Amino acid sequence: MAPTARRPSMADVADRAGVSYQTVSRVLNEPEIVRPATRSRVLEAITELGYTRNRAARALKTTRSSLIGMLNDGSALFGPTETTTAIETAARRAGYSVLLTTVGAEDSAGHAVGAELLGSGADGILVVAAHEGMVPAVTAVARSTPVVVVSAVPPRTPGIQVVGVDQGLGAHLVVEHLARTGARSVVHTAGPQDWFDARARREGFEQAIALHGLDGEVVGPGDWTPRTGYDLTNALVRDGLPDAIFAANDMMAMGVLHALHEHRLRIPEDVAVVGFDNTLGAEYQVPSLTTVAQPFAELGRLALERLLCLLEERELPPGTPSTLPPRLVVRRSTRPERTH
Amino acid sequence: MAPTARRPSMADVADRAGVSYQTVSRVLNEPEIVRPATRSRVLEAITELGYTRNRAARALKTTRSSLIGMLNDGSALFGPTETTTAIETAARRAGYSVLLTTVGAEDSAGHAVGAELLGSGADGILVVAAHEGMVPAVTAVARSTPVVVVSAVPPRTPGIQVVGVDQGLGAHLVVEHLARTGARSVVHTAGPQDWFDARARREGFEQAIALHGLDGEVVGPGDWTPRTGYDLTNALVRDGLPDAIFAANDMMAMGVLHALHEHRLRIPEDVAVVGFDNTLGAEYQVPSLTTVAQPFAELGRLALERLLCLLEERELPPGTPSTLPPRLVVRRSTRPERTH
DNA sequence: GTCCCGAATGCTAACGTTCACATGCTCGTG
DNA sequence: CACGAGCATGTGAACGTTAGCATTCGGGAC
């Protein structure tokens, strides 16, 4: 915290190196066109003064902020957080910084947030936890700024690009595994239906149930938290248990397991349980949880790549997927598949 | 994505409202000094054109970016994520945006990140997940930018302010509770010792053990993940179990529980288990986990408040704490305290 | 020795905003 | 009715950078 010693500017560097500030600019932007001797003199002056380019001036002149706005959900969910980290790392590598914005429950309108995003001057927007609450903010912004949404569902607003994990496939994998391990009746404790991923999982579940001719039921919706998994399961215990419960995510599965334990039911013998996400703790549930692993980090990188192509008007490399497949991770909360 | 229709500027708004651009500026910055009639005319023009202030130009002229840099750990941990969200919400309310930077394992040097932060032009820096890896980046930045660290430990760099939860107190509460419920021997499965909070918990544990005359031992360190809690517990089962295990966080406690279950040990009868953090899932462990709740959101708000005071050269309201007390949450993984 | 060409560098203006100051207007007062 | 006080608004300059054009310099060819 120096006593307001103005940060050095290009002019300062130029003075020290005995060149004009334009040359300094060139060293930074197109190093190859300045003579090696001058260049190294300038670079030396830069390090001596600890000079860094003034981001604001640069942004003002170029009309590009090198900022990427990220719209996140306020709840500290596992998947979005992983994705966020991956995005930030990739963005930094590409010379962008990430502006974090959360849409909490309180400002559900989202309009204010949309205005905020617009005013932030971000070159592009990445929506990480896609649910209905984001829609007004996103549509407001999408008119003037490229937007990429991480979601299982194609958007209703044209011009918005989407990258997602195939939630339907995930649900299919789960149901198929349950069918193969002898389940006849399956209950899906659904996630909050204003989340696009939750909706896609439920729809995938319903399709897969029909496909395998099983006895399926959807209960809920829950809210991603263990509590709702717990409550829904208690209701099931009262009203009659299925062979298997497919929870909308690992958190809810946690509540499911807890309720079953309280009623001294055996897992998977009495009821099999499956989650979704493969959170850090899934393997260490009691018993360890069969679940669907999503490539969250890969997803983040892919979303960013897509956005950068939009920003820099590059073509997306051919063969770049917009949908990533999830992977079933079989553990001890479901019966083993027979291998013959 | 309009076809590069330049965003409207103050001059455009001024033309439309029939005033000079300076008046527009005034309406935005000091609305009270402009005549109500003119003001509403300007505001109308603003909404009609969808004008938002150009952040870069503003930053350039005022030499303040309205940006707060946040330094986060790359791992998607529960506490830091909660704190992050609270900070972002509070920052937005105060007219600041949050620039997210993560220090991953790969760029452990942190120097690059420090330079990055400096170049970002943030008015102030908030360090959320404080560990040794952050130190070089932070000390580099602290010379020219106010820094507030969320940490249990006073920093070695002078001029850096600190806000934290009293980890030592948390450990004391745990040990006291264990002592009162009949434990004589306690093992602490420590967290990664390059994290300041983990270190403070361990030291608090050692002090409290001495205070209560218990038989204490520290094993580990772990790495916050369930796996290390699991591995350390397996080793304990081999070498002799204590009456209670105090895990460095809830994640590690999860691994502890899992290992104990595998060995068919009863919790809390054979071994009591305590975690730290009170994550969303703690209540739904089997059995539900006794743990220490930290006021993560409050912590975030407090850290931001402190930083804003530094930035705006306000005095911190008298009585504002720099350390927040944690709270013991007793559940079923420890024996009940006798009440007489 | 002169000319020309290209490479290297310098100068001017502009991005959109705010600050400091200048100016015009309105109103109360002598 | 003229004057000054004070409020409302306008004007010029500057923040640090980059784009475009102008200038300088060195060297090769005639």
Query: B85, B328, B71: which is closest to A81 by C-alpha?
Result: B85
The band of B189, judged by pLDDT with boundaries at 50, 70 and 90, is very high
A110 or B74: which leads in pLDDT: B74
Q: How much is the pLDDT for A5?
A: 59
Render pLDDT for B247-279 as a digit per residue (tens, 0 to 9).
Answer: 999 999 999 999 999 999 999 999 999 999 999
Provide the shortest C-alpha distance from residue A265 to chain B (in Å): 13
Dist. CA B119–CA B98, nearest whole Å: 15
Query: B73, B233, B292, B291: which is closest to A284 by C-alpha?
Result: B233
| Set of chain B residues whose Cβ sits within 8 Å of the Cβ of A285 | 254, 258
Mean pLDDT of B211-218: 96
Render pLDDT for B45-57 as a digit per residue (tens, 0 to 9).
Answer: 999 998 989 999 9
Nearest to A284 among B70, B254, B283 (CB): B254
Q: What share of chain B is helix, strand, coil (3-state, %, to 5)?
A: 45, 15, 35
Dist. CA B87–CA B298, nearest whole Å: 9
Q: How much is the pLDDT for B112?
A: 65
Q: How much is the pLDDT for B297?
A: 93
Pairing relationship of beta strands B244-247 and B185-189 according to DSSP bridges: parallel
Q: How much is the pLDDT for A76?
A: 73
B214 or A105: which leads in pLDDT: B214
**DSSP per-residue letters across A148-197:** EEE-SS--SSTT-EEEEE-HHHHHHHHHHHHHHTT--EEEEE---TTBHH
- Give just the sign of the alpha carbon dihedral A226, A231, A236, A237: positive
Paired tokens of A32 = 């190859």
Strand C, nucleotides < 7 Å from a protein CB: these are 7-12, 14-20
Q: What single-letter DSSP state applies at residue B72?
A: E
Contact B226 A283 (CB under 8 A): yes
Contact A288 B258 (CB under 8 A): yes
Mean pLDDT of B317-331: 93
CA distances from B262 to A104, B185, B255, B266, B288 (A): 40, 22, 11, 10, 17
Q: How much is the pLDDT for B111?
A: 60
3-state secondary structure of A244: strand
Render pLDDT for B9-36 as a digit per residue (tens, 0 to 9).
Answer: 999 999 998 888 999 999 999 888 888 8
Query: B202, B223, B197: which is closest to B294 by C-alpha?
Result: B197
Dist. CA A218–CA A198, nearest whole Å: 12
Cis peptide before B287 (omega within 30 of 0): yes
**pLDDT of B1 higher than 90:** no
- Give just the sign of the alpha carbon dihedral A234, A238, A239, A240: positive
Residue type, A170: G
Distance A20 CA to D28 C1' (A): 29
Distance B282 CA to D5 C1' (A): 70
Nearest to B55 among A121, A144, A258 (CB): A121
Q: How many contacts, defined by CB atoms under 8 Å, are there between A and B?
A: 169
The band of B149, judged by pLDDT with boundaries at 50, 70 and 90, is very high
Closest nucleotide to A34, Cα to C1': C8
Q: How much is the pLDDT for A182?
A: 93
Whether the CB of B37 is less than 7 Å away from nucleic strand D comes out as yes
| Set of chain A residues whose Cβ sits within 8 Å of the Cβ of B229 | 284
**pLDDT of B61 higher than 80:** yes
| Set of chain B residues whose Cβ sits within 8 Å of the Cβ of A234 | none
CA distances from A272 to A25, A208, A218, A278, A292 (A): 64, 17, 16, 16, 15
B111 or A155: which leads in pLDDT: A155
Q: How much is the pLDDT for B329?
A: 97
The band of B88, judged by pLDDT with boundaries at 50, 70 and 90, is very high
Q: How much is the pLDDT for B136?
A: 79
Provide the shortest C-alpha distance from residue B339 to chain A (in Å): 25
Distance B46 CA to D16 C1' (A): 28
Q: How much is the pLDDT for B298?
A: 94
In order of their start, the domains of chain A are 10-53 (1.10.260.40), 64-165+297-325 (3.40.50.2300), 167-294 (3.40.50.2300)
Contact B174, B164 (CB under 8 A): no
pLDDT less than 70: residues of chain A: 1-5, 105-112, 114, 155, 339-340
Q: How much is the pLDDT for A106?
A: 58
